[in-house]
Amino acid sequence: MSALTLSTSSAATLRADAVVIGVAKGPKGPVVAAGAEAVDKAFDGKLAAVLEALGATGGEGETTKLPAPSGLKAPVVLAVGLGDAPAKDEDFAHEALRRAAGSAARALAGSKKAAFALPVEDADAAGAVAEGALLGAYSYRPAGNAAAAKKNDKADKGAPLAEIALLGGKPRDKAFKAAAERAATVAEEVNRARDLVNMPPNELDPKAFAAAAQTAGKEFGLKVEVLDEKALLKGGFGGIMGVGRGSDAPPRLVRIGYTHPKAEKTLALVGKGITYDSGGISLKPAGHNETMKCDMAGAAAVFAAVVSAARLGLRVNVTGWLALAENMPSGSATRPGDVLKMYGGKTVEVLNTDAEGRLVLGDALARASEETPDAIVDVATLTGAMVLALGNRTFGVMGNDDAFRTSVFEIAEEVGEQAWPMPLPAELRKAMDSPVADFANMGERMGSGLLAGIFLKEFVAEDIAWVHLDIAGPAYHESAPYGYTPKGGTGSAVRTLVRLAERTAAGDLG
């Protein structure tokens, strides 16, 4: 990941390959944002006019490169659009800063060092700029595969930006320094999740994923327990075993725990970890298989969030449950019509083997409930229906506790992850009635994204607040990069889970 440094230098005097300044859309044309005063002075106060002459508007994500005039140490000025200028006495939204910094970092791929002179009014704004720049500079670099890394660098027009110098704050100020350090930690963990999602499925099967968790556990002092296929069978984890039994790569359930000696609350995070999803016997149609390595994005988010909590030293206990399996068709695979006995004893008739995520999550939710955490959040690329409802950039938020659901939704908005609260209508439950089991894994087509949430609710203890995040849309981005969002794995939900852990540690969630 790119290195992050803090500097008290002026944008005019810091030596770098480029200096990044912000420009906003004003009523009469582009407006140079605060933080770029020294750069504007080098242009004799005419920087806005020069940018307008070059066609810049200040629109969100717009980037314009200029040769630097004499008076600047950096040879290039990069103006990045912040969107509409805020009203008088208001600051730019943190998400606008985050996205602008990400766009600038991508535009400067191939450079060694860039100085970011975006408007930083306080420590939180500085953290947003740092986070956006670090996330925007991301490029997937396959371990041990120089050819693939070189190809990615070429696609990104050069190797990732090596060093990001953050200007405009006070490096000696504890709040400013803490915000920058937090941004670096969280960005690194988001990028860990992205790397896992981007890995080829023949390199990241359940066993390899579990091994990655064990390695991180040793590095960050986490307690990691791995249940292999023998332990899962003996323990009665019929959902995970039922999904994984069609593959030569057997399933795993990983418990990764962070504890703080002064913690008063415990969060349990549960992630769907289907390392490849063919659909099983209910095989996916052609054209729907190519990106199914991303079906473990929920487990990747949970993994990264637990490591983040440990690295940040949060005063909260966080337990992550990674439900890992590969869903493949074979002579031993679960068939439509089979009945599985889930962990805890409930039985499920499998009507569609491509509705497998809820089966592995059901087992993990039931097991997580046994430890009576104060709250549970599960994260999953669960349903295409949620993508149809909310699009590719927004995840759905459902739960059994309206106040907790609202809190998680508001946290997602705060950190810049697009989300929307969704209901769990009680009348949909009847659609899952089965004549041969307690219920089926499918119901009616209409509202099927909500019905999946209702299915999961069956495995959560009634006295535990629970929220379900369906990240099927934003977990994997197939179009051109934008802001700090790359093509491929995005690390969706990591930042929401980390902020939730921070709020819980601070006692802000009751």
pLDDT (0 to 100) of residue 508: 86
**Torsional sign, CA 406, 412, 413, 414:** positive
**CB neighbours of 225 closer than 8 A, spacing ≥ 6?**
254, 255
pLDDT digits (tens, 9 = 90+) for 31-56: 999 999 999 999 999 999 999 999 99
pLDDT digits (tens, 9 = 90+) for 134-148: 999 999 988 766 555
Say which CATH architecture domain 204-505 belongs to.
3-Layer(aba) Sandwich (3.40)
Contacts of 336 (CB under 8 A, 6+ apart): 281, 282, 350, 351, 352, 353
pLDDT, tens digit, 9 for 90 and up, residues 309-322: 999 999 999 999 99
Structure tokens at 131: 């986070």
Q: Which DSSP string corresponds to 242-270? A: HHHTTSSS--EEEEEEE--TT---EEEEE
Residue with tokens 């999953």: 380
Q: Is position 174 annotated as part of the catalytic site?
A: no
Nearest in space to 498 (alpha carbons), one of 280, 308, 283: 308
- Listed by start position, the domains of the chain span 3-184, 204-505
How much helix, strand and coil, in percent to the nearest 5, is found in the chain?
35, 20, 40
Positive or negative CA dihedral for 51, 53, 54, 59?
positive
**323/360 Cα distance (integer angstroms):** 6
Residue-level pLDDT at 286: 86
- Is residue 362 within 8 A of residue 347, CB to CB? The reply is no
Between CA 139 and CA 157 the distance in angstroms is: 11
CA distance 193 to 161: 20
| Exposed e or buried b per residue across 450-482, where buried means at least 16 C-beta atoms within 10 angstroms of its C-beta | bbbbbbbbbbbbeebbbbbbbbbbbbbbeeebb
Residue 287 has a pLDDT of 85
* Residue 199 DSSP code: S
Number of other residues whose CB lies within 10 A of the CB of residue 215: 11
pLDDT in tens, 319-348: 999 999 999 999 999 999 999 999 999 999
Q: Any catalytic annotation for residue 393?
A: no
Bridge partners for 227 per DSSP = 253
Judge contact between 314 and 189, C-beta under 8 A: no
Would you tell me which CATH number, out of the four given (3.40.50.10190, 2.40.30.10, 3.40.220.10, 3.40.50.970), belongs to the domain 3-184? 3.40.220.10
| pLDDT-flagged residues of the chain (< 50) | none
pLDDT in the model for residue 173: 84
Which residue is catalytic, options 141, 177, 284, 346?
284
Give tens-digit pLDDT for 387-417.
999 999 999 999 999 999 999 999 999 999 9
Which of 272, 358, 367, 487 is labelled catalytic? 358
